[in-house]
Structure 1
Amino acid sequence: MEGFVVAVDRGRYTCVLDGTERVAAMVTAMRARELGRKSVVVGDRVALVGDTSGAPGALARIVRIAERSSVLRRTADDDETTAEGRLERVVVANADQLVIVSALADPPPRTGFIDRCLVAAYDADIEPLLCLTKADLAGPEAVLGYYAELELPYVLIRPDSELDALRALLAGRVSVMVGHSGVGKSTLVNRLVPEAARAVGTVSAIGRGRHTSTSAVALRLPRAPGGDGDGWIIDTPGVRSFGLAHVSADSLLHGFPDLVEGTVDCPANCPHTAEAPECGLDAWVAAGKADPRRLASYRRLLASRAGDGDARGEPEPRGEPPTLG
């Protein structure tokens, strides 16, 4: 039987079998020994054998993992560093879209975090979508102006607004939702999937664990009338940061497409840091061809990638309230 992994909990994998209509038809599985050290993550397409009835106490085995179309990774936070260095974690597999949820106020938008998510999305070849919540409290002009050169797709969300535009962008796709605490992501998930709390509870019961702040869970979106078919949203409440130590320097630069052309006149092997005497990025920004805040953010990420910065994407010193840029 072919299936889709919707949750992972302490060596148990909750899967929805292909061809089933609702999340009630879920199977609990373990990883077969022949897979060796291959990890199974939310979003994986897998082959299962054994008891796939989904009955209480039934346990199937995952014997094959299909080739992944995309892998969204992050490097672990500083407090998860081991003697071998920072751990690299796979967030989800086979996602089509990364939905970056950011409030326009209370809390203010953190463009440093958004920049990190964009780099991670581009590195994984996943399309980004900016979802700006609490649009009733502040306008989007400052944030959108910051990303003007990227032509970044976005949606505005108010408490009383319909979600038709967002639903249309999610339909028929596997979308990962990330965002800091307090931005309204959970509220948004519950509006998109009214049975989300019940679905998460079912996953927890099957996995004999609980949906914690460090777990991810895939939720099937209700089919919209005349829509393109079911989509999935993967809620990632534990992804509070995107460490980028696993991203190469070249991939990091391509997360800032508005700066790439400015490196044409750089000498070979230019590190693009502020201390690089002949880096062309400073002249590029001075000529008005890119926002200086974007260059500053890029260089902060360079420093963080080298282990000198904060993986949370906050440009401000610790203890100060975050602001745009």
Structure 2
Amino acid sequence: MARSARDYDESDVRIRPNRRGSRPRTKDRPKHEDALPGRVLTVDRGRYTTLVGDDRDGRVVIAMRARELGRKGIVVGDRVALVGDTSGAHGSLARIVRVEERETLLRRTADDTDPVERVLVANADQLVVVSALANPEPRPRLIDRCLVAAYDAGMDPLLVLTKADLTDPAPFLEQYAPLSVPHVVTAREDGRTVGLDAVHDVLAGRVSVLVGHSGVGKSTLVNALVPDAARATGVVNDVTGRGRHTSTSAVALALPHDDGWVIDTPGVRSFGLAHVDPDRIVTHFPDLEPGTDGCPRGCTHDEEECALDAWVEGGAAGPAGPSRLESLRRLLRTRLPASED
């Protein structure tokens, strides 16, 4: 016989245990003291290729980001801590539970008005700006922007000029003589790269990130330095003078026969610097920086009230002062908006 609602009492109700409240909640996260250290080599759609162990004899481990990291970004060059299946076996997947403190950050913005920074590479100590001397023509303003990014990141800049077999590099290098930026020149002869040994010498023992616009020979250079890299190479359009993007993602590669690393990046056509503070650029001109003490508050160092003019005219910056000041101001002007570099 069916029972009515009045026939039920509390003894007929089954109480299910509250499982969510059965354990005290805590904000303490596991320390993962047994996590293995690794280096991020590539990033691809939420999967991180890492190297665990020795730079030469380590094993490649594919990993995902642990939920506890939240929105914290992970980029090529990051040193991380991994747990889970770190065997590197086919189909295995580890978890990145910690991103170690970064020594340097190479950053850019989408344009000069975008306040959102985008971290490109972590822990590199040398920024190698690769530019062709011809085919395509060099873009000094883009090079200047890369130099500013290097100074801002605390990285040493290096110019690598390719295709010297097509034109004399001397006129171009005169523009950068006041900045004292080290440079290496390469050329192609009989199907081989001349000057490669000099490039290898300045990369040895360093973590170097290579940047440059498409078609300058960056991937060709990487393939010559790391024969197993197999980076795709392209050609320059005869009409537009632009190269085709052949490298689609950044990748860290160990240099053979020494402990250096190169990080190849996709070709760029612009380099936004909205995040850069002009005062940080001035610190890389130690002969000029003391002269800014007399500048008005908020001085851009490129205006009539700037005290650097009097500093240079008085000889405090030495005989190279005028050209150094012009180079500084040229770099500062790169932060002005431009349609394309």
* TM-score exceeds 0.5: yes
Q: CA offset at residue 20 of structure 1?
A: 5.6
Choose the corresponding residue for 1:123, options 152, 171, 175.
Answer: 152
Matched, 1:164 2:183: no
Matches within 5 A, 1:1-325: 1-19=36-54, 21=56, 25-77=59-111, 85-160=114-189, 161-197=194-230, 213-223=247-257, 229-254=258-283, 260=289, 263=292, 265-273=294-302, 276-281=303-308, 289-291=321-323, 294=327, 297-302=330-335, 304=336, 309-310=337-338, 312=340, 314=341
Q: Answer with 113-122 or 234-243: which moved more.
A: 234-243
- Bigger radius of gyration: 2
Tell me the C-alpha RMSD between the 2 structures.
Answer: 2.8
C-alpha deviations, 1:110-141, integer Å up to 9, x for none? 22111111111111111111111111122222
Q: Which residue of 2 aligns with 1:202?
A: none
| 1:7 alignment partner AA | T
User: Contact 2:296–2:306 (CA<8 Å) still a contact in 1?
Assistant: yes
User: Contact 2:145–2:331 (CA<8 Å) still a contact in 1?
Assistant: no
User: Contact 2:38–2:82 (CA<8 Å) still a contact in 1?
Assistant: yes
User: Contact 1:6–1:218 (CA<8 Å) still a contact in 2?
Assistant: yes
Looking at structure 2, the residues matched to 158 and 198 of structure 1 have their Cα atoms a distance apart, in angstroms, of 19
Q: Which structure exhibits the higher relative contact order, with contacts defined as CA atoms closer than 8 Å and separated by 6 or more residues?
A: 1
Aligned residue pairs: how many? 284
Looking at structure 1, the residues matched to 339 and 104 of structure 2 have their Cα atoms a distance apart, in angstroms, of 22
Q: CA offset at residue 147 of structure 1?
A: 1.6
C-alpha deviations, 1:275-315, integer Å up to 9, x for none? x432345667889833486366235324x2xxxx1275x3x
Looking at structure 2, the residues matched to 269 and 150 of structure 1 have their Cα atoms a distance apart, in angstroms, of 24
Q: CA offset at residue 105 of structure 1?
A: 1.6
Q: CA offset at residue 149 of structure 1?
A: 2.0
Looking at structure 2, the residues matched to 295 and 175 of structure 1 have their Cα atoms a distance apart, in angstroms, of 24
C-alpha deviations, 1:169-199, integer Å up to 9, x for none? 1112211000111211111111111111279
Looking at structure 2, the residues matched to 298 and 283 of structure 1 have their Cα atoms a distance apart, in angstroms, of 20
Looking at structure 2, the residues matched to 10 and 105 of structure 1 have their Cα atoms a distance apart, in angstroms, of 36
Q: Which residue of 2 aligns with 1:317?
A: none
User: Contact 1:216–1:238 (CA<8 Å) still a contact in 2?
Assistant: no
More helix by share: 1
User: Contact 1:120–1:244 (CA<8 Å) still a contact in 2?
Assistant: yes
Looking at structure 1, the residues matched to 246 and 40 of structure 2 have their Cα atoms a distance apart, in angstroms, of 17
Aligned-residue sequence identity (percent) comes to 62
5+ residue gaps, structure 1: 200-210, 224-228, 315-325
Looking at structure 1, the residues matched to 290 and 251 of structure 2 have their Cα atoms a distance apart, in angstroms, of 39
Query: Helix, strand or coil for the counterpart of 2:334?
Result: helix
| 2:225 alignment partner AA | L
User: Contact 1:243–1:311 (CA<8 Å) still a contact in 2?
Assistant: no
| 2:149 alignment partner AA | A
Looking at structure 1, the residues matched to 331 and 81 of structure 2 have their Cα atoms a distance apart, in angstroms, of 41
| 1:230 alignment partner AA | D
Q: CA offset at residue 17 of structure 1?
A: 1.1
| 1:60 alignment partner AA | A
User: Contact 1:73–1:88 (CA<8 Å) still a contact in 2?
Assistant: yes
Q: Answer with 68-77 or 8-17: which moved more.
A: 68-77
Looking at structure 2, the residues matched to 155 and 55 of structure 1 have their Cα atoms a distance apart, in angstroms, of 41
User: Contact 2:125–2:156 (CA<8 Å) still a contact in 1?
Assistant: yes
Looking at structure 2, the residues matched to 143 and 129 of structure 1 have their Cα atoms a distance apart, in angstroms, of 15
Query: Helix, strand or coil for the counterpart of 1:159?
Result: strand
5+ residue gaps, structure 2: 1-35, 233-244, 315-319
Q: CA offset at residue 19 of structure 1?
A: 1.9
Normalised TM-score (structure 2) = 0.74
Looking at structure 2, the residues matched to 286 and 143 of structure 1 have their Cα atoms a distance apart, in angstroms, of 27
Normalised TM-score (structure 1) = 0.78
Query: Helix, strand or coil for the counterpart of 1:100?
Result: strand
Looking at structure 1, the residues matched to 332 and 87 of structure 2 have their Cα atoms a distance apart, in angstroms, of 53
